[in-house]
């Protein structure tokens, strides 16, 4: 199902994974206010400082509540001071992450996140937009939904011209991929929330073949 939703042009997709959670369960685990595995806790585990996650509120009216043509139903902000490694000129990067909740239903969770930094060179030249899209089966099709397909992607949006585009692009891609992959490894796989295929019993018929049957019907 996730493959049927084409990724946007010029967006990078580091993560496409099947998880053992429905769209609503994923919301409860990771995105709701004070979620057990919220992104504020994840950022703190990465060593970021002064992490402060706001609560979801009704989206702002007008263009402030719209991102890439999608109108948000709710919005919230997280602020933190990112610890910069391997750069002798910059040690810290104050960052604001603005989350836009587009859809939160039984079959679809759709969230954008706009990242803005300050107090570092060229920070006013760009912003990074992240997209989280999780699709799961219709609850009417199965007794209990325990699966979903997650895509995490991002887009580097230029706000003004700069001669440092190549350097900025390289740093953004490296860091964002590291964050996304860290999320998958430390919060999806380590917490045993990845989808696991169920193996059917060994057949005693011709060839005694082992049949592997997925319970993810997307």
The CATH number of the domain holding residue 106 is 3.30.530.20
88 within domain boundaries:
yes
| CA nearest neighbour of 22 among 90, 93, 109 | 109
Give the three-class secondary structure for 65. helix
Distance (Å, rounded) from C-alpha 41 to C-alpha 183?
Answer: 11
Helix (H) or strand (E) holding 101: strand 92-104
Q: What are phi and psi of 111, to 5 degrees?
A: -135, 135
CA atoms of 157 and 126, how far apart (whole Å): 6
- Report pLDDT for 2: 57
Rounded Cα–Cα distance for residues 47 and 122 (Å)? 24
Residue 20 banded pLDDT, cuts 50, 70, 90: very high
Do the domain assignments include residue 218? no
Pair of tokens at residue 93: 């990067």
Q: Is residue 83 part of a domain?
A: yes
Nearest C-alpha neighbor of 24 from the set 110, 143, 131: 110
Nearest residue to 151 via CA among 136, 168, 131: 131
Mean pLDDT of the chain: 89
For 44-77, how does the pLDDT look when each residue is reduced to its tens digit (9 = 90+)? 999 999 999 999 999 999 999 999 999 999 999 9
pLDDT of 207: 45
Instruction: Write down the pTM of the prediction.
Output: 0.87
Say yes or no to pLDDT of 184 above 70.
yes
8 Å CB contact between 122 and 142 = no
Domain containing 83: what range? 2-213
In 3D space, the residue among 108, 103, 120 whose CA is nearest the CA of residue 172 turns out to be 120
Indicate the number of domains in the chain: 1
User: Has residue 187 been placed in a domain?
Assistant: yes
Classify residue 153: in a domain, yes or no: yes
Burial of 90 (0-12, 13-18, 19+ CB in 10 A): middle
Of 126, 165, 136, 172, residue with least CA distance to 23: 136
The predicted-structure confidence for 98-148, as pLDDT tens digits, reads as follows 999 999 999 999 999 999 999 999 999 999 999 999 999 999 888 888 899
Q: Residue 214 CB: number of other CB atoms within 10 A?
A: 12
pLDDT reported for residue 26: 98
Strands (E), 40-147: 49-53, 57-58, 66-67, 70-71, 74-83, 92-104, 108-117, 126-135
């Amino acid at each position: 199902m996730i493959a049927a939703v084409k990724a946007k042009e010029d967006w990078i997709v580091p993560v496409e994974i099947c998880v053992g959670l429905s769209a609503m369960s994923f919301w409860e685990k990771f995105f709701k206010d004070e979620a057990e595995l919220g992104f504020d806790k994840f950022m703190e585990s990465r060593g970021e400082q002064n992490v402060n996650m706001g609560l979801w509120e009704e989206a702002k009216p007008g263009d402030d509540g719209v991102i890439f043509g999608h109108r948000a139903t709710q919005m919230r902000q997280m602020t933190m001071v990112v610890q910069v490694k391997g750069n002798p000129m910059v040690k810290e990067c104050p960052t604001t992450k603005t989350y836009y909740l587009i859809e939160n239903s039984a079959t679809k969770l759709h969230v954008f996140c706009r990242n803005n930094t300050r107090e570092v060179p060229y920070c006013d030249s760009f912003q990074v937009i992240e997209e989280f899209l999780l699709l799961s089966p219709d609850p009417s099709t199965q007794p209990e939904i325990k699966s979903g397909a997650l895509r995490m992607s991002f887009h580097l949006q230029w706000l003004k011209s700069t001669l440092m585009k190549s350097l900025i692009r390289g740093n953004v891609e490296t860091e964002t991929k590291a964050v996304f992959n860290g999320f998958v490894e430390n919060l999806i796989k380590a917490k045993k929330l990845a989808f696991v295929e169920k193996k059917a019993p060994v057949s005693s018929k011709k060839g005694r073949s082992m049949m592997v049957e997925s319970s993810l019907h997307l």
